[in-house]
Amino acid sequence: MRIAIDTHTHSVASGHAYSTVEEMARGARRAGMKGFVLTDHGPALSGTHPYHFANMRVLPERMHGVRLYKGIEANIMDAEGSLDLAPDFLAKLDFVMAGLHRECFGPRGKEENTAAMIAALRNPLVDAVSHPGNPDFPVDAAAVLAAANEGGKAIEINSGSFRVRLGSEANCSEFARLCARTGTRIVCGSDAHFSGDVGRLSEAIAMLEAAEVPRELVVNATVRSFEEFLTERKAARGAAGRGSL
Ligand SMILES: [Zn+2]
Ligand SMILES: [Zn+2]
Protein backbone atom coordinates (compact mmCIF):
# COMPACT_ATOMS: atom_id res chain seq x y z
CA MET A 1 0.00 0.00 0.00
CA ARG A 2 1.22 3.49 -0.85
CA ILE A 3 0.30 6.61 1.10
CA ALA A 4 0.28 10.00 -0.68
CA ILE A 5 -0.21 12.39 2.25
CA ASP A 6 1.47 12.26 5.65
CA THR A 7 -1.29 13.47 8.02
CA HIS A 8 0.79 13.89 11.19
CA THR A 9 3.91 16.09 11.38
CA HIS A 10 5.40 18.58 13.86
CA SER A 11 7.59 21.60 13.14
CA VAL A 12 9.73 23.70 15.51
CA ALA A 13 6.49 25.39 16.59
CA SER A 14 5.75 22.30 18.71
CA GLY A 15 8.66 23.21 21.01
CA HIS A 16 10.21 19.73 21.01
CA ALA A 17 10.51 19.21 17.24
CA TYR A 18 13.44 20.29 15.15
CA SER A 19 12.59 21.38 11.60
CA THR A 20 11.02 24.43 10.02
CA VAL A 21 7.96 24.22 7.78
CA GLU A 22 10.19 24.58 4.69
CA GLU A 23 12.46 21.77 5.89
CA MET A 24 9.41 19.57 6.54
CA ALA A 25 8.19 20.27 2.98
CA ARG A 26 11.58 19.29 1.56
CA GLY A 27 11.52 16.17 3.73
CA ALA A 28 8.09 15.28 2.36
CA ARG A 29 9.30 15.65 -1.21
CA ARG A 30 12.43 13.58 -0.55
CA ALA A 31 10.22 10.83 0.89
CA GLY A 32 8.14 10.85 -2.30
CA MET A 33 5.03 12.22 -0.60
CA LYS A 34 2.51 14.30 -2.54
CA GLY A 35 1.76 16.37 0.54
CA PHE A 36 1.71 16.58 4.31
CA VAL A 37 -0.40 18.05 7.07
CA LEU A 38 1.32 20.30 9.56
CA THR A 39 -0.22 19.21 12.87
CA ASP A 40 1.68 21.04 15.56
CA HIS A 41 0.64 20.36 19.14
CA GLY A 42 -2.11 22.48 20.62
CA PRO A 43 -1.14 25.26 23.06
CA ALA A 44 -1.69 23.25 26.26
CA LEU A 45 1.15 20.84 25.52
CA SER A 46 3.67 22.92 23.65
CA GLY A 47 3.05 26.51 24.62
CA THR A 48 2.38 27.20 20.92
CA HIS A 49 0.65 30.56 20.65
CA PRO A 50 -3.00 30.17 19.57
CA TYR A 51 -2.26 32.65 16.77
CA HIS A 52 0.13 30.08 15.27
CA PHE A 53 -3.04 28.27 14.20
CA ALA A 54 -5.11 31.39 13.50
CA ASN A 55 -2.46 32.78 11.14
CA MET A 56 -1.76 29.71 8.99
CA ARG A 57 -3.36 31.32 5.96
CA VAL A 58 -0.03 33.13 5.40
CA LEU A 59 1.53 29.79 4.43
CA PRO A 60 1.22 28.78 0.76
CA GLU A 61 -0.77 25.72 -0.28
CA ARG A 62 2.25 24.32 -2.11
CA MET A 63 5.85 24.40 -0.99
CA HIS A 64 8.89 22.73 -2.56
CA GLY A 65 6.70 20.66 -4.86
CA VAL A 66 4.31 19.24 -2.26
CA ARG A 67 0.89 20.22 -0.98
CA LEU A 68 0.82 21.70 2.52
CA TYR A 69 -2.36 21.23 4.56
CA LYS A 70 -2.90 23.28 7.70
CA GLY A 71 -3.83 21.34 10.79
CA ILE A 72 -3.40 20.73 14.48
CA GLU A 73 -2.95 17.87 16.91
CA ALA A 74 -5.21 19.38 19.58
CA ASN A 75 -5.16 18.13 23.16
CA ILE A 76 -8.17 16.47 24.71
CA MET A 77 -8.25 18.10 28.13
CA ASP A 78 -10.98 16.23 30.03
CA ALA A 79 -13.49 13.38 29.85
CA GLU A 80 -15.98 15.80 28.24
CA GLY A 81 -13.64 16.10 25.25
CA SER A 82 -12.73 19.80 25.71
CA LEU A 83 -9.95 20.89 23.37
CA ASP A 84 -7.16 23.42 23.89
CA LEU A 85 -7.93 25.76 20.99
CA ALA A 86 -10.98 27.98 20.47
CA PRO A 87 -13.61 26.61 18.05
CA ASP A 88 -13.33 29.59 15.70
CA PHE A 89 -9.60 28.91 15.27
CA LEU A 90 -10.15 25.16 14.81
CA ALA A 91 -12.82 25.85 12.18
CA LYS A 92 -10.29 27.60 9.92
CA LEU A 93 -7.95 24.61 9.68
CA ASP A 94 -7.96 21.97 6.93
CA PHE A 95 -7.57 19.03 9.32
CA VAL A 96 -8.19 18.78 13.05
CA MET A 97 -6.83 15.79 14.89
CA ALA A 98 -7.27 15.41 18.66
CA GLY A 99 -5.35 13.18 21.02
CA LEU A 100 -4.62 12.24 24.60
CA HIS A 101 -1.25 13.32 26.00
CA ARG A 102 0.06 12.82 29.52
CA GLU A 103 0.82 16.52 30.09
CA CYS A 104 -2.81 17.50 29.46
CA PHE A 105 -4.79 14.44 30.52
CA GLY A 106 -2.99 12.57 33.28
CA PRO A 107 -3.17 8.78 33.24
CA ARG A 108 -6.75 7.73 34.03
CA GLY A 109 -8.78 4.58 33.76
CA LYS A 110 -10.02 2.95 30.55
CA GLU A 111 -13.55 4.26 31.09
CA GLU A 112 -12.53 7.92 31.31
CA ASN A 113 -10.03 7.62 28.45
CA THR A 114 -12.76 6.12 26.26
CA ALA A 115 -15.30 8.79 27.25
CA ALA A 116 -12.79 11.54 26.45
CA MET A 117 -11.95 10.13 23.02
CA ILE A 118 -15.60 9.55 22.11
CA ALA A 119 -16.55 13.06 23.24
CA ALA A 120 -13.77 14.51 21.06
CA LEU A 121 -14.96 12.44 18.08
CA ARG A 122 -18.48 13.84 18.57
CA ASN A 123 -17.14 17.39 18.29
CA PRO A 124 -18.10 18.44 14.73
CA LEU A 125 -14.74 20.25 14.36
CA VAL A 126 -12.67 17.10 14.96
CA ASP A 127 -11.78 15.00 11.90
CA ALA A 128 -9.67 12.25 13.49
CA VAL A 129 -8.13 11.04 16.75
CA SER A 130 -4.37 10.55 17.03
CA HIS A 131 -2.66 7.37 18.25
CA PRO A 132 -5.69 5.70 19.92
CA GLY A 133 -3.50 2.60 20.34
CA ASN A 134 -1.22 4.33 22.86
CA PRO A 135 -0.84 1.83 25.75
CA ASP A 136 -0.58 4.76 28.23
CA PHE A 137 -4.26 5.46 27.55
CA PRO A 138 -6.13 2.17 27.19
CA VAL A 139 -9.54 2.61 25.51
CA ASP A 140 -12.49 0.45 24.49
CA ALA A 141 -11.52 0.14 20.83
CA ALA A 142 -14.96 -1.00 19.61
CA ALA A 143 -16.67 1.96 21.31
CA VAL A 144 -14.16 4.45 19.87
CA LEU A 145 -14.60 3.02 16.38
CA ALA A 146 -18.39 3.17 16.67
CA ALA A 147 -18.14 6.90 17.51
CA ALA A 148 -15.76 7.49 14.59
CA ASN A 149 -18.03 5.61 12.22
CA GLU A 150 -21.09 7.56 13.34
CA GLY A 151 -19.52 10.82 12.21
CA GLY A 152 -17.58 9.49 9.19
CA LYS A 153 -14.35 10.31 11.02
CA ALA A 154 -11.00 8.59 11.04
CA ILE A 155 -8.78 6.97 13.64
CA GLU A 156 -5.04 7.10 13.22
CA ILE A 157 -2.56 4.29 12.81
CA ASN A 158 0.55 6.17 13.90
CA SER A 159 3.81 4.86 12.48
CA GLY A 160 5.91 6.74 15.04
CA SER A 161 4.17 4.84 17.85
CA PHE A 162 6.18 1.73 17.03
CA ARG A 163 9.35 3.68 17.87
CA VAL A 164 8.26 6.01 20.69
CA ARG A 165 5.14 4.57 22.33
CA LEU A 166 6.55 1.17 23.04
CA GLY A 167 3.99 -1.56 23.43
CA SER A 168 1.62 0.01 20.87
CA GLU A 169 1.73 -2.90 18.40
CA ALA A 170 -0.96 -5.12 19.92
CA ASN A 171 -3.43 -2.24 20.37
CA CYS A 172 -2.77 -0.78 16.91
CA SER A 173 -3.13 -4.17 15.33
CA GLU A 174 -6.48 -4.61 17.09
CA PHE A 175 -7.60 -1.18 15.84
CA ALA A 176 -6.54 -2.00 12.27
CA ARG A 177 -8.35 -5.37 12.28
CA LEU A 178 -11.50 -3.82 13.79
CA CYS A 179 -11.43 -0.99 11.22
CA ALA A 180 -11.25 -3.54 8.40
CA ARG A 181 -14.23 -5.38 9.87
CA THR A 182 -16.38 -2.34 10.68
CA GLY A 183 -15.42 -0.18 7.68
CA THR A 184 -14.02 2.60 9.88
CA ARG A 185 -11.84 5.18 8.18
CA ILE A 186 -8.14 5.40 8.93
CA VAL A 187 -5.44 8.04 8.59
CA CYS A 188 -1.86 6.89 8.54
CA GLY A 189 0.68 9.40 9.91
CA SER A 190 4.39 9.44 10.71
CA ASP A 191 4.25 11.79 13.75
CA ALA A 192 7.54 13.18 12.44
CA HIS A 193 9.30 15.60 14.78
CA PHE A 194 12.17 16.00 12.29
CA SER A 195 12.19 16.57 8.52
CA GLY A 196 13.97 13.25 7.87
CA ASP A 197 11.00 11.38 9.35
CA VAL A 198 8.24 12.91 7.20
CA GLY A 199 6.65 10.10 5.21
CA ARG A 200 8.26 7.40 7.37
CA LEU A 201 5.21 5.15 7.33
CA SER A 202 6.52 1.68 6.62
CA GLU A 203 5.67 0.21 10.05
CA ALA A 204 2.06 1.42 9.90
CA ILE A 205 1.66 0.31 6.28
CA ALA A 206 2.92 -3.17 7.17
CA MET A 207 0.35 -3.33 9.96
CA LEU A 208 -2.49 -2.20 7.67
CA GLU A 209 -1.50 -4.82 5.11
CA ALA A 210 -1.29 -7.56 7.75
CA ALA A 211 -4.78 -6.60 8.96
CA GLU A 212 -6.03 -6.68 5.34
CA VAL A 213 -7.36 -3.13 5.57
CA PRO A 214 -8.84 -2.18 2.19
CA ARG A 215 -7.09 0.84 0.66
CA GLU A 216 -10.40 2.72 0.34
CA LEU A 217 -10.59 2.99 4.13
CA VAL A 218 -7.24 4.80 4.32
CA VAL A 219 -8.36 8.33 3.50
CA ASN A 220 -4.86 9.71 2.96
CA ALA A 221 -3.79 6.92 0.59
CA THR A 222 -4.29 9.23 -2.41
CA VAL A 223 -4.53 13.00 -2.83
CA ARG A 224 -7.98 12.54 -4.28
CA SER A 225 -9.36 10.48 -1.40
CA PHE A 226 -7.88 12.87 1.15
CA GLU A 227 -9.33 15.92 -0.61
CA GLU A 228 -12.72 14.18 -0.78
CA PHE A 229 -12.52 13.43 2.93
CA LEU A 230 -11.69 17.08 3.73
CA THR A 231 -14.52 18.34 1.53
CA GLU A 232 -16.97 16.02 3.22
CA ARG A 233 -15.75 17.02 6.67
CA LYS A 234 -15.95 20.72 5.82
CA ALA A 235 -19.58 20.30 4.77
CA ALA A 236 -20.33 18.41 8.01
CA ARG A 237 -18.65 21.14 10.08
CA GLY A 238 -20.68 23.79 8.25
CA ALA A 239 -23.92 21.93 8.83
CA ALA A 240 -23.11 21.61 12.53
CA GLY A 241 -22.22 25.32 12.66
CA ARG A 242 -25.58 26.28 11.24
CA GLY A 243 -27.28 24.02 13.76
CA SER A 244 -25.90 23.78 17.24
CA LEU A 245 -22.60 25.64 17.58
ZN1 LIG B 1 0.48 12.91 19.91
ZN1 LIG C 1 2.15 14.15 17.25
Q: What is the pLDDT along the chain (245 residues), one digit of tens a residue?
A: 999 999 999 999 999 999 999 999 999 999 999 999 999 999 999 889 999 999 999 999 999 999 999 999 999 999 999 999 999 999 999 999 999 999 999 879 999 999 999 999 999 999 999 999 999 999 999 999 999 999 999 999 999 888 888 788 899 999 999 999 999 999 999 999 999 999 999 999 999 999 999 999 999 999 999 999 999 999 998 876 554 43
- Tell how far the Cα of 10 is from the centroid of ligand 2, in angstroms: 6
Tell how many helices (H) and how many strands (E) occur in the chain. 10, 8
- Tell how far the Cα of 41 is from the centroid of ligand 2, in angstroms: 7
Angle at the Cα of 214 from the Cα atoms of 99 and 118, rounded to 5 degrees: 25
- Tell how far the Cα of 14 is from the centroid of ligand 2, in angstroms: 9
- Tell how far the Cα of 12 is from the centroid of ligand 1, in angstroms: 15
- Tell how far the Cα of 102 is from the centroid of ligand 1, in angstroms: 10
- Tell how far the Cα of 74 is from the centroid of ligand 1, in angstroms: 9
- Tell how far the Cα of 24 is from the centroid of ligand 2, in angstroms: 14
Please give the Cα distance from 216 to 208 (Å, whole number).
12
- Tell how far the Cα of 39 is from the centroid of ligand 1, in angstroms: 9
Question: For position 243, what pLDDT does the model report?
Answer: 43
Question: For position 245, what pLDDT does the model report?
Answer: 37
- Tell how far the Cα of 97 is from the centroid of ligand 2, in angstroms: 9
User: Residue 29, SS3?
Assistant: helix
- Tell how far the Cα of 73 is from the centroid of ligand 1, in angstroms: 7
Q: Which ligand approaches the C-alpha of residue 193 most closely?
A: 2
Q: Where are the alpha helices (DSSP H) in 123-168?
A: 141-150, 161-164
Question: For position 244, what pLDDT does the model report?
Answer: 40
